Structure 1
Amino acid sequence: MATYTLWNTLQQYKVIIPIIQRDYAQGRKDDRQIEQIRKGFIKNLFDHLVSSVPLELDFIYGALHQDELELLDGQQRLTTLFLLHWYLANRTEEKLQKIEIKKNLSQFTYQTRVSSRMFISELIQHGHEIQIKQVAEDNKLSSMIENEAWYLAIWKKDPTVISMLTVLDEIHSQFQALVNYSEITAIELWKALTIDKVLCFYLLPMNDFALSEELYIKMNARGVQLTEFENFKAWLQGYLEKSIDNETRKDFFNQIDREWTDYLWTLKQFSSKSKDTNKPHNLNFDEMYMQLFKSCLLCHSYVLATFKNAKTESTYDKDEKSLVSRLRKNLIITTDEYEVLLGNANSQVQIMQNIYRFFEFLKNYSGEENIQGILLNIFNSKDSSYEAQAQFAILYFYNAYINNESQFDDWFNVTKRLVNNAKNYFNAEKDLISVLDAINHLAVEISENNILDKIRSLTETSEIFKKLTTAFDKQHIEHEIEKAELIHHNAAWKSLFRKYEKHDYFYGQISFLIDYAKDEGNQNVSMDIFTKYAEISSKIFTDKFLKDEDYIFHRSLLSIGDYLVKDGSNWSFGRQVFNTVRQRNENWRKVFEDKDRRKMLKTLLNQINEGSEFESLKNIISNNISQVKDWRSYFIKAPKTIKYCQKYQIRFHNENEIYLLSSRQMNGAHAELRTYVLYSKLLKIGFDESKVQYVEVATSSENPSLIVKLKDLPILRVKFEAGSFKNDFLMQDSVINEEHGSEYAELLMRPEYAKVIDLEKELISWVEVQEVA
């Protein structure tokens, strides 16, 4: 079948977008998927024009009436091609046959709206007047066009015109980028477009098929293009003809249409009934299929090798431009990119086999693990994260290399714990690739072996151990080895570990509990002692205790020692959030894993009686408080100080310079520790809030303060600086402080201020030694 270009088509026919067609849509601004299609399609066009490698744009369907071609399908592609022709013709400085160009371009028209037809006509007639090269970097080609004298205000309400201007901006932006890093010229691309016939398509006249008027109306009134999945599926069937034998290929695509579709339908129903607000509830069937294929491609070993060897920048979770991000967030991938991802014939065979096994596993799985939750996480494109893709990879690599039903639970739990506690918190694309690569190698290493036997045999010098440390902390790997060794000697450990590994706050990391159960020589681990500590810890580390309004647990642990953990420039009491890897690791996990803090926690757990946990914690505070003679005493005796810290964080410069943070930074509202304790104590002994007010600040250049307003008396302002309370009095026009001698002393001795001054002295006495930095 002969191929056509838009240019030679316009030389033969008047190309008409009939009135029944919809508006031009590739320039819609508020549709993320359309934006991806637009950018990807235009990039693909430019890539082929620059390389002179022909690009076939599939079939264009139309009805031929003598010298007119009325488009039935292909409107979007041909309109974008038309705009590309207009742009290159008017961008070049070479002497072209402008009259002939205008004549040919005028063969393209819209009948959907009168205003659209007028705009196209005017754009063609005045295109040579627009100085495209003069468009400033901070401006747009569309703005220049809109400022032309011939541009009509009515066009600002025409969706087709708005769309065309957006596409012209994208064409200009991408061409300008080409010019900036190469010596390419507009005339070279114009020749590739009109003479070399680089961009072509098949023209299928529907007249030959005796198309009825009724069917014609249905085709056009539908106004819906084939979905990305429908296009991808059709392309893939053709592309795999050379690498996959006919029977295998036929079976694969039959499964897509039948049993695998049934599974996704069931999953869709499961999602719609889920009460989890973090899971998607209105899934699009084709998008589900497309996401699964893209996630599988991202895991494919050939692809992993490609990404791993490429230079990856620090691409964050919300990125939507890189290929990795577009794969995991179900955005547009061009056919050229798919060809690279699928690799050679052997790679194509492997990826098809892996996807086949993967779907067969999904439809037949009847175990207890929540694999539906993992799938729903990758379908949630708004919040799809690196971590969600890594968890998906656990399922993919199992089916690719292990595929042993008796081993799935162990594989799933070991790798999920590693993924949930990965290095670097999945901050960037390269972190995801490292995790996928490590899991891939581990699955290959295990193959047909017993998973726990393989894990317990790992040594620091082995290649697979070294590979795992590129993605996971050494201590977490060693933790899995230790548990596998214990299970090897006593299978009862497995169910016991599993019970506490699923705890929300432990999140798979229970090494501190194993450590508590070891004998003095660290040779033996007592199951009874482990169970004892695990039971108490699993009760304490719950919302009941961690969200207690009196902060009994935090204060009791503080009474034993300084357990606060470093978090950037701040110190944290331990927050009640654990949704991301970062939140889990920079939280109570640091208490569990730090040697000294572990001892503090163990000391506390040893003093808790099961069944009377709150009373035990209160007793710990009352028994220890008299021995606490440093800054901790303020938090222990005044729980409102912790309540003030909405993110459970403080800024600690030294013993005498401690700030309570309402957020995470000093440019947010914050209070000073001792003055805030004074404020809370004054309220507690009966001062009215109208008389005692706390003055927060949101800058490091000022100090927070407490002010006391008593009737007919100057306002007392209290600050804490250099290890002591500083009092001054705010008069109407002046401030009276220590430098005012007797006048200041007389005010300070007023009996109305006595309770404030006495409390200041008491608070100072709480700390025996104050070191001034």
Structure 2
Amino acid sequence: MKTMETNSILQLLKTHKVVIPPIQRDYAQGRTTGKTPKVRERFLNAVYEVLANDNLPIMELDFIYGYTENDVVNETEKISVFKPLDGQQRLTTLFLLHWYFANIEKARNNEFNLEEIKKLLLKFSYATRHSSSSFCQNLIEFQPVFNGKTIDEQIVNQPWFFSNWKNNPTIASMLVVLKDISILFKDMNNVWSKLSGDTSRIVFHLLPMNDLGLPDDLYIKMNARGKELTDFEHFKSQFTEILSPDQAKEFVEKIDKEWSDLFWNIFKNKESSDIAKEVDNGFSAFFWYITELIIARKKIVVNETYWLDIIKRVYQESSDNVKFLFDAINLFENLEKKEPNYFDDLFYINVEDFSLSKTRLFFNSPQTNLFRKCAEAYGFGERKNQFSVGEQLLLYAFIFMKLETDIVNPLKFRKLRNIFASSEFQLRNEFLSTFLYEDVEYLILHDEFSPDSKLSKRQFEEERSKKQFVENHPELLEYVYKLEDHTLLRGNIALFDFNENLSIYAEQFLKIFVPGCNYFEISKALLTIGDYTQNIGKFKRFGNNNNSTWRELFTQSENRDGFQNTKDVIKQYLTIFIDDKNKTPKNLIQDYLSRYNSDYQIEKGLIFYYIKYPSFSKWNENQTDGYYWWYDLALKPYECWMLFKTQFNGRHWSPFLLELSSINENCNLENYGNELKFVFENYIIFISNKDNGFEFKGIDEESINFIDSLRDLSVLNSDSIYEIKQNEQGLDLVDRVKEMDKLLNELVTLNKKTVN
């Protein structure tokens, strides 16, 4: 066989037997999932066009690689066998097309020599599975009827078709493709003459690897074990076709050179079994980031869902969009080569790397190099997007500054970070096209926020106030930036007063709220000063051990009431430690509880119980999300529920009952708002927490009688409630948890004495 021949499949079969070797995967063009149906549709439509219109150029299916060897037929005869390593999918589809057209030609022209064509087609076989080979042989001998019944239905009803063949991926794919062929080409006439002879309308370039002098194992390595072209190779081929000649030339020259090196350097040290694929995916990720950025920024209406249709919509008729794409890639190709640490001069991650010229990033799995993060994490196709909207916007800000002004202003990144951190609800993909990208450009060009922006107006005002403040107090700039870069504040420092004392309070805040600090202890210590919690409707939120909860409490919001209380308590708390360097949160808690020990008549609100008892902030040593809920906080402050998360369809308890269940061995409490189950001897009593005490209920006669006796003894009131002593305002004057635990223990002890 000569190097690189142009052939039709019939010409190939006249000189060679074609065997799909065992190293190949199954025939896949008939799959019904993923992108395959669209690929199949495009290919068959292209075949239809070239067969229907003789004025179109012939269809060239690129290179088909493989190697040849001689197969001994007998002592005097040998036959050349071609084994494709790349092109199996295309050859198989051509085989099916020719089988179909030969049979329909016979049905329309009885003089057509079908037997001669069968002899050629029988030289095509699969060595991947015996069932695949057997199916091909039987298919060739089968002659369908063209009476409206689909080909695949006829085939599966043949006596030679085994039902378990439907589980063979190759056979299943062939049936799907045959069905699509029969539907698409059923009305097409005079086709066979366009496929046979020396002037076939569908050809390919055959490249025998033997002629290159390469060993078989290298063929396999070169062709990824015989797999078809990768998605990225298809992308490169298709994208090139929609570009202008000059742009196509630049793309072809750079995609396998400078641009390939750019992404190779990102992934070369990664642990991966296929670095080349990682590199391809990295380019694709950045390509789709820019493409979707253009769609959003230019408000391009895209109704298409197939990737090729989308990029045609964006790039085919807009050289400006192509230029922006190329400029963006070239920008980072030059920077990575000449200034590899360019992002490190703008951003930092760890608190110890603070610098006035840098902005701290708080994204999930943050990286200072946003370009590299984009290549590694931006989602395209079926890949999940782990490159957040905030990161997308900051990366665009960098690109816009470099391409439009060539001046990168670090302060603008700080302002953007601050605004984005306070506008998390607005940082959504659907808002990219409506205002987010425009807001970024407006800030860069005008050093001001767009008056039409839908981002946090409150944060806009804070940014203006801080700007004025540091202009008047430049010596406090470092404290402002350090507070902004604190993980609990993230740009919003409304928790502090902007005055000359800012440095004192900032230093103390930075000392107390450090990684690993005991938030539960801090929460209780704060409550000794005042109620720092915030209200969301009937919910009240306490701090827990999560940064996100405290950050929420330290950030003013229209959705919550009580921020000023939080601010006042925090200021008093910081003042205590500023005035007394030896004071600790534990001291504050101990001093608070000791006041109740010395004067037990002091009224005891929920805060007292929250500080004293662990079950008011934890369940089985597991922290909650910090939410409490009341039916009526003003009139019934003790009738509350502690939620494990944020909804009542999850675990929730009366914290008073939860604490009793943890300290009294005769008590048990389920997790969904249940009553406390108190069991001793033969009695089963259910107890619920009421605003004025604890209500007793029995479900069996013996327990009911016992409760009646407690009413008779005036232990319980007429409503079967064990009343807690309260003042005129309805606040406890005794510790209801302690009192109730004492009563339950006395009932058990009294019953034992009575029995004895």
Question: Could you say whether these structures have the same fold, taking a TM-score greater than 0.5 normalized by the shorter chain as the test?
Answer: yes
Shift of 1:588: 5.0
* Aligned counterpart, 1:186: 183
Moved more, 663-672 or 221-230: 221-230
Residue 379 (str. 1) matches residue 376 (str. 2):
yes
Deviation at 1:713, TM superposition (A): 4.7
The 1:654–1:716 alpha-carbon spacing in structure 2 relative to 1, beyond 3 Å, is same
SS in 2 for 1:407: coil
- SS where residue 512 of structure 1 aligns? coil
Cα distance, 1:407–1:483 mapped onto 2, change above 3 Å: farther
What is the identity, as a one-letter code, of the residue corresponding to 1:298?
Y
Q: Choose which of 654, 657, 669 in structure 1 pairs with 2:632.
A: 654
**Match for residue 618 of structure 2?**
643
Please report how far the alpha carbon of residue 352 of structure 1 lies from its aligned counterpart in structure 2 after TM superposition: 0.7
Matched, 1:291 2:288: no
Report the 3-state secondary structure (helix = DSSP H, G, I; strand = E; otherwise coil) of the residue aligned with 1:303: helix
Equivalent of residue 18 in structure 1, options 6, 20, 40: 20
Give the direction of change, closer, same or farther, for the CA distance of 1:129–1:248 in structure 2 (3 Å limit): closer
Q: Describe how 1:317-466 pairs up with structure 2 within 5 A.
A: 334-343=307-316, 344-363=318-337, 364-366=339-341, 367-368=344-345, 369-370=347-348, 371-372=367-368, 374=370, 375-376=372-373, 379-380=376-377, 384-385=384-385, 387-388=387-388, 390-402=390-402, 407-424=408-425, 426=427, 429-434=429-434, 437-438=437-438, 441-442=441-442, 446=445, 454-455=446-447, 457-458=448-449, 464-466=450-452
Question: Which amino acid is 1:59 matched to?
Answer: F
Q: 1:257 to 1:430 in 2, by over 3 A?
A: closer
**Deviation (angstroms), 1:727:** 0.5
Q: C-alpha distance in 2, partners of 1:764/1:56? A: 93
Gaps of at least 5 residues in structure 2 are 71-78, 349-366, 733-756
- Residues 104-135 of structure 1 show CA distances to partners (whole Å, capped at 9, x for unaligned) of 97665312332221234456667969999899
SS state at 2:562 partner: helix
- The equivalent residue for 1:318 is none
2:651 corresponds in structure 1 to 669
Is this contact kept in 2: 1:4–1:203, CA < 8 A?
A: yes
The partner residue of 1:563 within 530, 533, 549 is 533
One-letter code of the match for 1:114? H
| Shift of residue 79, structure 1, vs aligned partner | 3.7
Letter in 2 for 1:536: Q
TM-superposed CA distance for 1:397, in Å, is 4.1
- Look up the match of 1:745: 708
Distance 2:177 2:644 in 1: 44
Name the aligned partner's letter for residue 624 of structure 2: Q
For residues 263 and 640 of structure 2, the distance between their equivalents in structure 1, rounded to whole angstroms, comes to 60
Q: Does 1:603 align with 2:569?
A: yes
Q: Select 2:555's aligned residue among 589, 593, 600.
A: 589
Equivalent residue, structure 1, for 2:456: 473
Q: CA deviation at 1:27?
A: 7.5
8 Å Cα contact 1:358/1:400 also seen in 2: no
Native 8 Å contact 1:354 1:400 kept in 2? no
Q: Residue type matched to 1:75 in 2?
A: Q
Q: CA deviation at 1:41?
A: 2.2
Aligned partners of 1:193 and 1:769: how far apart in 2?
Answer: 97
Q: 1:607 to 1:122 in 2, by over 3 A?
A: same
Q: Output the TM-score relative to the length of structure 2.
A: 0.68
The percentage of counterpart residues that share the same residue type is: 17
Alignment correspondent of 1:522: none
Cα distance per residue 1:654-686 (max 9 Å; x no partner):
334532233443333332233224435xx1xxx
Match among 39, 44, 63 for residue 41 of structure 1: 39
SS of corresponding position for 1:22 = coil
What letter matches 1:727 in structure 2? F
How is 1:56-205 mapped onto 2 (pairs within 5 angstroms)?
Answer: 57-61=61-65, 70-79=83-92, 103=118, 108-122=124-138, 150-152=160-162, 155=165, 161-162=168-169, 165=172, 186-187=183-184, 191=188, 203-205=204-206
* Counterparts of 1:170 and 1:485, CA distance in 2: 70
Does 1:511 pair with 2:494?
yes
Cα distance in 2 between the residues matched to 1:592 and 1:394: 26
Q: Aligned equivalents of 2:210 and 2:43: distance in 1? A: 33
Structure 1 segment 471-510 matched on structure 2, within 5 A: 472-488=455-471, 491-492=474-475, 494-510=477-493
Higher helix share: 1
Trace 1:206-221 onto structure 2 (pairs within 5 A): 206=207, 211-212=211-212, 214-215=214-215, 218-220=218-220
What is the distance in 1 between the residues matched to 2:175 and 2:468? Answer: 64
Contact map agreement 1:300 1:351 (CA 8 A) in 2: yes
Structure 1 residues 187 and 384: CA distance shift in structure 2, 3 A = closer
* Alignment-derived partner of residue 294 in structure 2: 303
Cα distance change of structure 1 residues 245 and 746 upon mapping to structure 2, 3 Å threshold: closer
Distance 1:485 1:189 in 2: 77
User: What amino acid sits opposite 2:679 in the alignment?
Assistant: K
Mark the CA change 1:241 to 1:215 in structure 2 (over 3 Å): closer, same or farther: farther
Contact 1:562/1:632, CA 8 A, preserved across alignment: no
Asked if 2 retains the 8 angstrom alpha-carbon contact of 1:63 and 1:205, the reply is no
In the TM superposition, what whole-angstrom CA distance separates every residue of 1:722-759 from its partner, at most 9, and x where no partner exists?
8652202354xx4644xx6xx633246789x99xx999
CA deviations on 1:610-647 (whole Å, 9 max, x unpaired) are 45341465278559989876554543443312102633
- Residue in 2 aligned with 1:726? 695
Provide the rounded CA distance (Å) in 2 between the counterparts of 1:311 and 1:440: 23
Kindly indicate whether the alpha-carbon contact (under 8 Å) linking 1:571 and 1:649 is maintained by their aligned counterparts in 2. Answer: yes
SS at match of 2:408: helix
Residues 219 and 251 of structure 1: CA distance in aligned 2, closer, same or farther (over 3 Å): closer
Aligned residues: 655
Kindly report which structure 2 residues correspond to 1:497-576, keeping only aligned pairs within 5 A, or say none: 497-513=480-496, 516-517=497-498, 526=499, 528-542=500-514, 544-545=516-517, 547-548=519-520, 551-553=521-523, 556-557=526-527, 560-561=530-531, 563-566=533-536, 571-576=540-545
For residue 206 of structure 1, report the CA deviation from its aligned partner. 2.4
CA distance in 2, matches of 1:170, 1:617: 77
CA contact (8 A) 2:489 2:555 kept: yes
1:437–1:194: structure 2 CA closer, same or farther, 3 Å change rule?
A: farther
- 1:402 CA drift (Å): 3.2
- Deviation, 1:357, is 0.8
1:709: Cα distance to partner?
Answer: 2.5
Deviation at 1:553, TM superposition (A): 1.0
